[in-house]
Amino acid sequence: MVNERKKPLRDLLTPKNTSIRPSSIFDTSYTYEQAMKESENSETVSVPKPASKPLQPPIEKQSGASMEQSKSTACIPCSKAHISAISGALSESIRFAKDGGVTHPEVIDRLGIATDELAAMERIDLAPYKIESLKGEEKEFAEWIVEKTRDLRHSLDGITDVNKLERTAAEAAGFRDEFLPRFWNLLENVSKSKSN
């Protein structure tokens, strides 16, 4: 078997016919302006300009939606998937932490997954401007979720050893166990009120 040298990821992801390839993906000296200047001289690559401001749904699409119309409002059903993923990732990380501590690569990977899921839920599905458009029980529930995720984020940020990891995993599992019945009750109440 021939021993082939693996290509760096940047070589696989960046087209070979471009000059917009820094020598390292961590090369901070290679700027956006350099890329734009080089792209003007090259016909093979076009670099899009970044948006001037963050995109946000129009205000008129943010008001009065229910859980069934939650495309532009707070997505409580999406939160269910995020909370389950956080709980699962943290629980799974304990298996690796028992042998390798919290610096084990699999533990770090799962802590990253939990952090990413939490960030997506807080910043996208439960963004303040989206919660503002909810009403009544849905709004109260979304605000409760945000409060609980804030506590969970502090616990995640404070993990320094296996014991703290276990406590945080237990906290996430408890949050999930508390969330699910409230979620199903809310969903049932929304369905009942819609049929009346």
Q: Which of 189, 191, 176 is nearest to 121 (CA)?
A: 176
**Do 104 and 175 fall within a single domain?**
yes
Domain assignment of residue 163, given as a range: 73-195
**Domain count of the chain?**
2
* pLDDT score of 118 more than 80: yes
Confirm whether 1 is domain-assigned.
Answer: no
* pLDDT score of 188 more than 70: yes
**Do 142 and 89 fall within a single domain?**
yes
Instruction: Check residue 83 and give its pLDDT.
Output: 96
How far from 88 is each of 75, 76, 113, 146, 155, CA to CA, in Å?
Answer: 20, 19, 10, 19, 16
Instruction: Check residue 171 and give its pLDDT.
Output: 97
Report field, pTM of the whole predicted structure over 0.75: no
